[in-house]
Structure 1
Amino acid sequence: MKHYRRMSMRKNLWRALILAFLLAPNPAPVRAQTMQSDWPCKQVRVPEIALASVWTGPSIESERKRWRDDPAVSELVAKIAPRRTPLEEAERRIDDFAKAGGNDKSRMTLLFAALYEKMNDERRDVVNGLDRFGGRLKEMAEKTRQETQSFYELQNQKPVDPEAVRKAAEALQWRVRLFDEQRKMVSYVCESPALIEQRFGALARRIISKME
């Protein structure tokens, strides 16, 4: 049993060392790394939806400022922007709105501007949240490195205090497990900005199709 516990302790210790090594700051200069040091995703950090990728019409700046003054547009955007609303239902609501207004181009432009403003704000909030999440991961990685170093120093003390080593090993295992659980979330949460943008693209194309 003691042999098994020692093996388990070593396994988790090596796991901690590997994770700490992988997340250690790169000492080599990276020219593109400006303000993205806390960004946890492999995707490039893009805080806003590229409007030009969907909209080729005139400026919508005035519509972006006044769409909240239109109750019907505000209500519709509140229903179709959230991802909890199925895409098919959101598209149907756009069709109904266009039909009720006789496909009026100015109204559809207002709706487009409202949807962009709403979903762009949501995407920006998610990106900022990912920055904070990445910062917490870095802090956790640093604490793991520190506890690993402390564990080694405790092991190398003469004479060795078995009880202190045991407690330090358990604390380190807990730290590694907690960090590993958070790290596994990265690939999932990093998909959120792209999902928001994809949904906006689909709904934007539906709106534009009613203006042709």
Structure 2
Amino acid sequence: MKRSIFASLALALCCAGAAHAQPQAAGQSDWPCRQVKVQSVAVAGVWTGPSIDGATSWRDDAALGDLVARISARRTPIETAQKLVGDFATAAGDKRKERLTALFAGVYDTLEAERHAVLAGLDRYGAKQKQLADRLREETQTLRAEQDKASQDKASQDAQKLKDASEALQWDLRVFDERRHALSYVCETPALIEQRLGALARVIEAAID
């Protein structure tokens, strides 16, 4: 039983160490993902349309702001977003280029803000995971000390301390492992947001032409 706990702990901490072993810049040591952390998506990397510098009118336009929110939401299929953008372009008439550029500016600002929030959340997640890993190491030392005490002098064995140390270690190991497995999906989220931004950029560019 105890051997199984220690084996699981060793595997979990090994995986945690591998996740944090990627080369990182100063201030990024809490990043928990195997994927390289890219702080921001460059506009030029997804958009070849008109410059969006100064295109902030979408913030003061209720209809434009509503469309930005609708097509930026990942629950909205790209096909639906394409139709919404097409209808918007038709309604814009001779202001099509200006309005669609503002639309993309809104989409970019919205998805970049969402992506930054996800990155910050992942950093917090990683920091908590590191703290839990440190606690697991301390609890392991406590459990082994209690086991050594019991093996050296059975008469002085404190069964309750041994039981409490074992239960604390098993519980925190379970929490640590569940959080580690959850990362496999969460770490993909920044890339998914970037992919949606690129897809929407292509849809909007196509509507400008």
Q: Same fold (TM over 0.5)?
A: yes
Which structure 2 segments of 5+ residues have no match? Answer: none
- Equivalent residue pairs, number: 202
2:6 is matched with 13
Q: State, as a whole percentage, how many aligned pairs show the same letter.
A: 46
Contact persistence 2:50–2:101 (CA under 8 A) = no
1:109 pairs with 2:101:
yes
1:162 pairs with 2:159:
yes
Query: For residues 21 and 57 of structure 1, do their structure 2 counterparts lie closer, same or farther at Cα, with a shift above 3 Å needed?
Result: closer
- Aligned with residue 172 of structure 2, among 164, 172, 175: 175
- Aligned with residue 113 of structure 2, among 118, 121, 126: 121
SS of structure 1 residue aligned to 2:134 = helix
Contact persistence 1:17–1:145 (CA under 8 A) = no
1:196 is matched with 193
Cα offset, 1:153, TM superposition: 1.2
Cα offset, 1:61, TM superposition: 2.1
Query: For residues 129 and 32 of structure 1, do their structure 2 counterparts lie closer, same or farther at Cα, with a shift above 3 Å needed?
Result: closer
Contact persistence 2:129–2:176 (CA under 8 A) = yes
SS of structure 2 residue aligned to 1:102 = helix
Q: How does 1:1-212 map to 2 (within 5 A)?
A: 8-24=1-17, 32-63=24-55, 65-102=56-93, 104-157=96-149, 158-159=152-153, 160-212=157-209
Let me know the Cα RMSD of the aligned residues. Answer: 2.1
CA–CA distance in 2 between the matches of 1:18 and 1:115?
Answer: 42
Contact persistence 2:30–2:123 (CA under 8 A) = yes
Query: For residues 31 and 138 of structure 1, do their structure 2 counterparts lie closer, same or farther at Cα, with a shift above 3 Å needed?
Result: closer
Q: 1:132-178 deviations in whole A, cap 9, x for unaligned? A: 11111111111111100111111112433233212211221111111
Contact persistence 2:58–2:65 (CA under 8 A) = yes
Q: More helix per residue: 1 or 2?
A: 2
Q: 1:17-46 deviations in whole A, cap 9, x for unaligned? A: 3323443599x9x86442221001111111
Normalised to the residue count of structure 2, the TM-score between the two structures is: 0.88
Query: For residues 44 and 24 of structure 1, do their structure 2 counterparts lie closer, same or farther at Cα, with a shift above 3 Å needed?
Result: closer
